[in-house]
Amino acid sequence: MKVNNFKKIAVLGMGYVGLPLALAFSKENKVIGFDIDKNKIESYNKGIDLTNELGNEAIKTSSVFFSYNENDIKNSDFFIITVPTPITPNKTPNFKYIESASEIVGKSLSKGSTVIYESTVYPGVTEDICAPILERKSGLKCGTDFKIGYSPERINPGDKEHRLENIVKVVSGMDQESLEIIANLYESIIEAGVYRAESIKVAEASKIVENAQRDINIAFMNELAMVFNKMDLNMKDVLDAAKTKWNFLNFTPGLVGGHCISVDPYYFIHKAEELGYHSQLVISGRQINNEMGKYIAGNIVKLLINNDKKVKNSQILILGVTFKQNCSDIRNTKVMDIINELKSYGVNIDVFDPLANEQEIKMKYDINLSKNLPKKTYDAVVLAVEHDKFEYINPEYIKSISNDNKPILVDIKSFLNKNEFIKEGIIHWTL
């Protein structure tokens, strides 16, 4: 079955995952890009790319019909659900978005439709939680009247090299027929091809494994960095030596935020607890990574004290506030952990990020984001996110904005050449 034989595809959730999918499918199909956020839809209809991933021109020239009206997704052949699956304050799965999306789709289902979930969940959610909602709202029978499947998203915000089209897509279906239909659908847009998983649960589990593995590896690097810091060893120097071995896994220490790696392991932890198993390794990795913001802030305070600078009412410039480099996504950014911890010491903070949205930062975190680099002096500068746009920062600049003869640069990810700054008398600290 060729994809251009499909009459209509509805993609629910117009964020970093759903938007690229909608645009890719729209090249040969009628696509409805649905989101309950009216302001978001209106921005897309004006040709504004809120994600900054595809560009305004791609939005303007696409044939996607963006809508917040549930009636527009009725009679779709495919419903692809890409809504967030966050966690509660108690670190347990929060299914409100995926359940709400399932209810919306259920009311629009017709016989012969296929529903595909891309949101990250633990094994069993698609079949045990979502499918019953679809049946209840539609009055139809899953497997007889409509089919379901799961295809974990692998979008990497800010990554211009690994794009939707060139990342292998894992696909699954409730039976062989649905598996082949779903595989053919994605094969029409995924140049790298698809991998047919054995079952929906296998596909769900594979996504948890991907993110938990990365989380644990970064936690290992963070633990090493904290110990080596006590030994006055530079972690980057250590890693540069270690990675000369052919099979060394090239992970680096840092803040672990965002909507996937810092969240998805809790779905595994929760399911394991339900089954009577207490996770040890995965939960330990989460605990280490969750504390890194406070650890970094503590070291900034030590740097101030050790260099005869006052802590209370000191002036610190934070460069970068998004959850990762070269993207505008601020969801669950751990830079806020640094900021909040420093504020608890009475530190005055300015934040500059050329990629983050001022209104979004203000609304979500009550932070006044500077439009341009502030023209004032500081006790310390913290390069929190290694955006390429910060490559111009040099020793002369750091010295020019220092309010004394002991300039301090905290380069969390060793983005800049430390030797250049040390040679110029700048106090340098990094993970």
350 strand-pairing partners: 317
Q: Which residues pair with 116 in a beta bridge?
A: 80, 149
Confidence of residue 5 (pLDDT cuts 50, 70, 90): low
- Does the pLDDT value for residue 393 go beyond 80? yes
Domain membership of residue 147 (yes or no) is yes
Question: Mean pLDDT across the stretch 171-193?
Answer: 96
Residue 1's pLDDT is what? Answer: 38
Q: What is the mean pLDDT of residues 24-29?
A: 93
Q: Which residues are catalytic?
A: 260
Q: At 295, list the tokens.
A: 């650890």
Instruction: Give yes or no for residue 136 having a pLDDT over 70.
Output: yes
Are 319 and 171 within one domain? no
Q: Residue 12, exposed/middle/buried by CB under 10 A (0-12, 13-18, 19+)?
A: buried
Task: Determine the 3-state secondary structure of 286 from DSSP.
Answer: helix
pLDDT of res. 138: 97
Q: Are residues 297 and 431 in the same domain?
A: yes
C-alpha dist (Å) from residue 343 to 97, 188, 371: 33, 51, 21
Please report the pLDDT score of residue 372 as a whole number: 83
231 in a domain, yes or no? no
Position 244 confidence tier, pLDDT thresholds 50, 70, 90:
very high
For residue 169, what is the domain's CATH number? Answer: 3.40.50.720
Average of per-residue pLDDT across 388-412: 94
Under the banding of pLDDT at 50, 70 and 90, the label for residue 94 is very high
Write the pLDDT tens digit of every residue in 350-385.
999 999 989 899 999 999 998 788 889 999 999 999
Q: What are phi and psi of 410, to 5 degrees?
A: -105, 105
377 domain-assigned: yes
> Mean pLDDT of all residues in the chain?
94
CA distance 205 to 27: 31
The helix or strand, by DSSP H or E, that contains position 150, with its residue range, turns out to be: strand 147-150
Parent domain of 363: 291-431
Q: Taking a C-beta distance cutoff of 8 angstroms, is the pair 320, 391 a contact? A: no
Residue 148 within a domain: yes
User: Where is the domain boundary, 197, 226, 244?
Assistant: 197
Residue 161 and residue 300 share a domain = no
Structural domain includes residue 235? no
Beta-carbon contacts of 376 under 8 Å, excluding residues fewer than 6 positions away, are 315, 350, 401
What's residue 6's pLDDT? 60
Q: In what helix (H) or strand (E) does residue 281 lie, and over which residues does it extend?
A: helix 281-290
How far apart, in Å, are the Cα atoms of 229 and each of 225, 226, 234, 431? 6, 5, 7, 8
How many distinct structural domains can be found in the chain?
2
% of residues, the chain, pLDDT over 70: 98
